Structure 1
Amino acid sequence: MVDAIVLANQVVPYVTAAVQSYGTAVLTRASGAGADATVSLGTRILQRIWRREESRAAVEGAVDDAVANPEDEDFQAALRAQIKRVLRADAELAAELEGLLPPAGVSITASGDGAVAAQRNEGVISTGDNATIRR
């Protein structure tokens, strides 16, 4: 069984990044290709929570407050509390969200033109222009 408190603490940094990037539009927008991985994951997590009819109003209110007060940790804590409440009430959703998170202790970052980062690769990675690859 998923621990709602632990999971809420794990997902909130992603959700907060998405809220700070997109504001209240985070609830309805599609994750764009221009979003970094953290914002994209936060958007997907928050939208899955928000789509649950029984939690929609409370989560939307907490997002509104966090957007209106981006530097206030109390509103971020209130958002985390709403997420925790939803996860406690919906074990299926909690398990679904847990599956979206990257494995613990894994951090992969690539930055800049042609940068590549992979936890595991079993194929070809080419970052060059006009590359010819033969197997």
Structure 2
Amino acid sequence: MSAEIVQLVEHAGPYLTTAVGAYGAAVLTRVEDTAADATVTLGQRILRAVWRRGDEAGRAELEQVVNEAADERDESYSAAVLGRLLRRALQEDAGLRAELSAMLPAPTAGSVTITASGDRSIAAQHIGTAITGDGHTAPQP
């Protein structure tokens, strides 16, 4: 497997799991919402690109994998399953590699990707106090 494919899968993975986590199995058919989070939208675009380039069997497999990932509570398992499918698709289709390379933001050295999805989700590299939910007050120093 080429380093390019490994890098693309690693870079696309968080977008895929966030999109599936947000929309579930409907991620393949959902129309983009103008208010949708950019991470979810990019993950959805990546999945649609794989869908468009697949044959009937490939589309059925993608749909099955997305359904399983949407039902799975373990995000690391979902990421692994989606990543395996994406790796295979990228190995078989140089055009898809080019399309995803153009779609994904260029990784920067030392960059960190942090993603939150869902109501009251929090994502931060460094955080002091974070409170979600109703009826909470911030601790007083």
AA matched with 1:74: Y
| Count of aligned pairs between the two proteins | 107
Any idea what SS the aligned residue of 1:29 has?
A: coil
Runs of at least 5 residues in structure 1 that lack an aligned partner in the other structure: 108-135
Aligned counterpart, 2:70: 67
Distance (Å, rounded) in 1 between the aligned partners of 2:3 and 2:93: 10
Equivalent position to 2:61, from 58, 62, 68: 58
1: CA distance between counterparts of 2:69 and 2:34? 24
| 3-state secondary structure, aligned to 1:80 | helix
RMSD between superposed Cα atoms in Å: 1.9
Runs of at least 4 residues off by over 6 Å: none
Higher relative contact order (CA 8 A, sep 6+): 2
**TM-score when scaled to structure 2?**
0.69
Q: Secondary structure at the match of 1:104?
A: coil
Percent identity (aligned): 40
- Find the aligned partners of 2:49 and 2:73 in 1 and give their Cα distance: 22
Corresponding position: 1:100 with 2:103: yes
1:49 counterpart residue number: 50
Structure 2 gaps, min length 5: 113-141
Match of 2:130 in 1: none
